Amino acid sequence: VGALDGKTALVTGASRGIGQAIAKRLAADGALVAVHYGSNDAAARRTVEDVKAKGGKAFPVRAELGVAGDAERLWVGFDAGLRELGAEPGVDILVNNAGVAPAGDFTATTAADLDRAFAVNVKAPFRLVQTGLTRLRDGGTVVNISSSATRVASPMTMAYSMTKGALDVFTRTLAAALGERGITVNSVSPGFVETDINSAWLRGSEETYAQVVNAAALKRIGEPEDIADAVAFLASHDGRWITGHDLDATGGLRL
Ligand code: NDP
């Protein structure tokens, strides 16, 4: 029996990187997983196929976030996917993972970059929860993927870090708002995990790579699975008494 048998999960940004690992882990634990993505059909299809090949249940949901009507469109796709599978409507586990990181020093961040980062990383999770409240089941859980960038100041990622700071406030406040329904709300903050979001920068020079490795107490760069396992814990029965918390999953970054 899987820890999440009978549960339905929605993971945003699950076509690649950390979200993909989260989707696979929740499916391995028995959840039916909606694999949300923005535009990369092939990557989303691969994620769904990987889950199915291991005996899990998943379906893709495409919706560009950070644009008008994004949350509503995502839920329409989610509802349709469940209907097609003959599954009950509703969601037990919502993981707000999709995110973007504007490149470059803060002096180079344009007003458009700033708007987009807040639209995808903050406004979309907020609207997704708000427009999904009737679908979110009592006793369910919301996990937001934040970042250690809220704790370790970096002028190179100022706009990005600010969006994650806002997301942390959302997490705590939403936990207070939804607690009476038995819904827990937490965040998981990765440090450095090599994915498409940062691979070019990480691999830019051996020195950069070594600095990142050495910045973590555990002396390596994170794997998407390191984050997925932390999310699975919060989503499981074992995490039931934890709410309004930010879980540092950084391997001890800059302690
Ligand atoms: P990736 O760039 O590898 O993957 C991003 C995912 O989000 C893809 O599935 C992508 O879909 C989706 N996505 C991005 N923008 C949009 C959008 N506008 N609309 C819909 N979907 C979108 O990122 P990571 O896996 O590295 O990051 C996942 C989360 O983890 C982010 O919130 C990030 O901020 C956070 N994080 C990452 C760290 C790291 O070191 N990697 C460290 C700390 C936090 P598609 O495939 O269709 O493009």
Q: Which atom of ligand 1 is nearest to the CA of 120?
A: 18
Q: Which region among 32-41, 195-204, 218-227 has the lowest average model confidence (pLDDT)?
A: 195-204
Residue 67 belongs to a domain: yes
Name residues whose C-beta falls within 8 Å of residue 25's C-beta, 6 or more positions apart in sequence.
Answer: 225, 228, 229, 231, 232
Which 8-state DSSP code applies to residue 193?
B
Q: What is the mean pLDDT of residues 192-215?
A: 95
Which structural domain range is residue 116 located in? Answer: 8-193+223-249
User: Ligand 1 mean position to 180 CA, how many Å?
Assistant: 31
Local confidence band at 1 (pLDDT 50, 70, 90 cut-offs):
confident
pLDDT tens track for 36-90: 999 999 999 999 999 999 999 999 999 999 999 999 999 999 999 999 999 999 9
Band (pLDDT 50/70/90 cuts) for residue 210 is very high
The answer as to whether 155 is a domain residue is yes
pTM of the model: 0.98
pLDDT of residue 138: 98
Regarding the beta carbon of 39 and ligand 1, being less than 6 Å apart is answered: yes
In a domain, 204, yes or no: no
C-alpha 1 to ligand 1 mean position (Å): 31
Residue 169 reports pLDDT greater than 90: yes
Q: pLDDT tens-digit profile of 96-136?
A: 999 999 988 899 999 999 999 999 999 999 999 999 999 99
Query: What total number of domains does the chain contain?
Result: 1
62 assigned to some structural domain? yes
In the annotation, is 160 catalytic?
Answer: yes
Q: Is residue 61 in some structural domain?
A: yes
166, part of any domain? yes
Q: What does the alpha-carbon distance between residue 211 and residue 158 come to, in Å, rounded to a whole number?
A: 20
Residue 199 lies in a domain: no
ipTM: 0.99
CATH number of the domain enclosing 65 = 3.40.50.720
Nearest CA to ligand 1 atom 46: 40
pLDDT at 104: 83
